[in-house]
Structure 1
Amino acid sequence: MLLRIRVRLPDRPGSLAKVARTLGAAGADVVQMTVLERDNGRALDDFTVTWPAGAGIDRLCDGLGSIPGVGIVGVWPTAEPQGAFPDAAVIGQLAADPRRGALILADAVPAILSADWAGLAEPGADESGEDAALVYASAGGVPGGRIPVLRPLRPRSFTAPDGTQYATGPISSGTERGLVLLVARTGAPPFHQTEVSRLAQLVGAAETVLSGSGIRLATG
């Protein structure tokens, strides 16, 4: 299985090598590394690793915790997006089947953002947003299920009272009230700003492709 590991570490030569060696010694195989931020001599990095299915992560966490200056932010299961350039692949799928564009986007985003599920939601009729409704959900989500207030309608991340982490990407076209692409994960850190920006870019690219075809983002 695949795991996403988010760590803070010193932003200096050799730090990444120490983390990679430690992951390897614990039995993990690094398949991807992403730098999320650098600031004041510290870095925040995501590692995607293969890990034996059913194996505990204690030795992995113990190994990382033994490296001076390294802090574990989160470890959670993830899925591998299809293709070497998953964002571009999704846009290609939208162009090939624009009538299902919004559904294709919602189904693809969980793997891209290491999330549990994603869905299309109507933000509600009034400014309170309390009547927001989930009109479509990928595997793992439940259409019609309870969702948080989605306003303000802008790309953002937030943590729900139950601890679920959410990211939102408003879609300017679609139903009469508009749509929001809602992404959720549990047992994981909040969505980083780079992930929110990636979500917003995906939505923007999808809207450009689909509006160019003259077909609205549709949920059916």
Structure 2
Amino acid sequence: MSDVSYLLRVYLADRPGSLGLLAVSLGSVGADILSLDVVERGEGYAVDDIVVEVARGSLPDTLITAAENVDGVRVDSIRPYTGVLETHRELELVDEIASADGPRRLQVLVDNAPRVLRVSWSTIITAGGDGVIQLFASSSAPETRLTRVDFLPIGAATQLDPDAAWVPQSWRDSDTRMAAAPVGVAADGVATKALLLGRSGGPDFRPSEIARIGYLSRIVTTVLALS
């Protein structure tokens, strides 16, 4: 019986030994830590994404209980995950986009954004005369299409309101958290095309993640302009 992996996002006290205690507690329930990524650091706390591998059939609640048995640790979210966290994932994606043929570059972006940015799906959209045009989409993009958006044109990466009037009901039902960033050459500091990212079931995008998405979108925009 093969093992399965989960991605845990945890808040923990930013003090010596916290991560070691967390690793020991997770290990006590049979979880093997495959990789760890520091998402954000604040005053006295850290937010980490941890990929763990457990035997198939193990309950996610067991991982949550083990983690939160450590003083100062809170689990923000847990979800199934394929693979491990990649340290240089954004740089590798930019290199792949730059190496692709011009018309394929944005498709490369949306195909790889879910893995690189740890989201459920990604699309590139623009406003059209009859509503919203989906220009590119990852294979995991929802079947329900947008009929309107309130955030275009867009000037900077931002987290979007999951309960806004333009959000389809099916997206709300799946508790989809979203972020968007400008893509392409901007006019007057704003862009008419956006990279739209969805994370079904959460968690919310952290400020550091929004900043990372913004850096990536600006680099992609520069690559597109140079080409």
TM-score by length of 2: 0.79
**CA distances 1:107-139 after superposition (whole Å, capped 9, x unpaired):** 1010112211101111456xxxx9334332201
Deviation at 1:180, TM superposition (A): 0.5
Write out aligned runs for 1:186-201 (5 A).
186-201=200-215
Which ranges in structure 2 are unaligned for 5 or more consecutive residues? 164-171
Structure 1: 5+ residue runs without aligned partners?
214-220
1:164-188, Cα deviation, whole Å (9 max, x unpaired): 10111111339xx731111101122
> Which residue matches 1:6?
9
Deviations 1:38-57 (A, max 9, x none): 33322222212233445321
Report how far residue 85 of structure 1 moved. 2.2
SS in 2 for 1:190: coil
Cα offset, 1:3, TM superposition: 2.0
Residue identity opposite 1:173 in structure 2: V
Q: Which moved more, 1:143-152 or 1:6-15?
A: 143-152
Alignment correspondent of 2:162 = 160
> Is the 8 Å Cα contact of residues 4 and 47 (structure 1) preserved in structure 2?
yes
Give the whole-Å Cα distance in 1 for the aligned partners of 2:20 and 2:147: 41
- Contact (CA 8 Å) 1:137, 1:143: kept in 2 or not? no
Distance 2:37 2:160 in 1: 21
Other-structure match for 1:135 = 135
**How many Å apart are 1:82 and its aligned residue?**
9.0
* 1:117 lines up with 2:117 in the alignment: no
Residue 51 of structure 2 corresponds to residue 48 of structure 1: yes
Q: Distance in 2 between matches of 1:22 and 1:137?
A: 40
Conserved 8 A contact 1:75-1:188: no
Is 1:103 matched with 2:115? Answer: no
- Give the aligned partner of residue 197 of structure 2: 183
Given the alignment of the two structures, is residue 171 of structure 1 paired with residue 175 of structure 2, yes or no? no
Tell me the alpha carbon deviations over residues 27-72 of structure 1, each in whole angstroms, 9 at most, x when there is no partner.
Answer: 2222222223333322222212233445321211111121122111
Q: Is the 8 A contact 2:31 2:54 kept in 1?
A: yes
Work out whether residues 118 and 141 of structure 1, in 8 Å CA contact, stay in contact via their aligned partners in 2: yes
1:109 and 1:120 map into 2 onto residues whose CA distance is 11
SS of 1:187 mapped into structure 2 = coil
In the alignment, the residues of structure 2 paired with residue 111 and residue 28 of structure 1 have an alpha-carbon distance, to the nearest angstrom, of: 22
Name the CA shift for 1:191/1:68 in 2 (closer, same or farther; >3 Å): same
CA distance in 2, matches of 1:7, 1:82: 15
For residues 72-122 of structure 1, the C-alpha deviation after alignment (integer angstroms, 9 at most, x for no partner) is 111122343796522222122212213211110011010112211101111
RMSD (Å) for aligned C-alpha atoms: 2.6
134 and 13 in structure 1: CA distance in 2 versus 1, 3 angstrom threshold = same
The equivalences for 1:12-91 within 5 A come to 12-80=15-83, 85-91=88-94
TM-score normalized by the length of structure 1: 0.82
Report the residue type matching 1:113 in the other structure: L
Shift of 1:144: 6.5
Q: Does 1:207 align with 2:217?
A: no
Residues paired across the two proteins, number: 207
Q: Which secondary structure state, in structure 2, belongs to the residue aligned with residue 27 of structure 1?
A: coil
SS of 1:145 mapped into structure 2: coil
Residue aligning to 1:151 = 151
**Distance change in 2, residues 1:33/1:117 (3 Å):** same
Q: Is the CA contact (8 Å cut-off) linking 1:132 and 1:150 kept in structure 2?
A: no
